[in-house]
Amino acid sequence: MSNYTGPKSRLFRRFGIRLQTNSDLKQTHATVKKTYGPGQHGPKGSFGKKSEYARQLLEKQKAKVIFNVNENHLRKYFEQASKMEGITGDEMIKLLEQRLDNVIFRSGIANTRYQARQMVNHGLIQVNGKVVSIPSVQVKAGDKFNLIAKKKDSSLFKQNSERAIKAPKWLEVDLKNLSGEVVRTPDKGELEPLISAHLIVEFYSK
């Protein structure tokens, strides 16, 4: 999925969900206007009954699209979560939530996870005062993050700083200054609700 360069809306339509963004989606946006999967068969060829294996596979693919990670990354998170004390599925999603690119998206500094990944890749984000250019870096409680000073006057990011975004409670965000802090690990009820993590665990456990 990380090598896909086509319209992101096709990926989200495949799973029957809207593109996740911190800005308002217009009614003309593909994931709003077309509530069925992509392809020449239209609504008739979208979401039929699927086998248990197909459901598990699609859930895994959906997680990759939502968090913008590839197969190797997702499997690594599963293997890491399986060694932790909590429920494997929950721990896996917590690891995904604590990726730096996801934190930048959740905070509202970026419109989408795709934009957040690009911002980190281009060295626009600091963690604890140091520029970090690896989107998969895991942040932890006490870590402070911000957009680098020379980009805060950019029209794009200035517009982001003026929005009213409700960040999750595990983040403390000062959107006006495009900065924030990780105050704790996300709770189970604060994890991405669109993913059924147990299906992914079942897929990888075979």
- Tens digits of residue pLDDT in 36-78: 455 444 555 555 678 999 999 999 999 999 999 999 999 999 9
pLDDT at 15: 75
**What's the CATH class of domain 99-184?**
alpha beta
Residue 171 is classified by DSSP as E
- What is the location of CATH 3.10.290.10 in the chain? 99-184
Bridge partners (DSSP) of residue 126 are 131, 146
- Name the burial class of residue 87, with classes exposed (0-12), middle (13-18) and buried (19+) by CB atoms within 10 angstroms of its CB: middle
Q: What is the mean pLDDT of the chain?
A: 86
Question: What percent of the chain is predicted at pLDDT more than 90?
Answer: 67
72, amino acid identity: N
The structure's pTM equals: 0.84
- CB-CB contact of 147 with 153 (8 Å): no
- What is the location of CATH 1.10.1050.10 in the chain? 53-98+193-206
**What's the CATH class of domain 53-98+193-206?**
mainly alpha
180 φ, ψ (degrees, to nearest 5): -175, 180
- What H or E segment, with its residue span, contains residue 121? helix 113-121
- Cα dihedral angle (43, 47, 49, 55), rounded to 10 degrees? 170
Bridge partners (DSSP) of residue 130 are 127
Over its C-alpha atoms, the chain yields an Rg (Å, rounded) of 18
Residue 155, C-beta contacts closer than 8 angstroms, at least 6 positions apart: none
Residue 79 has pLDDT above 90, yes or no: yes
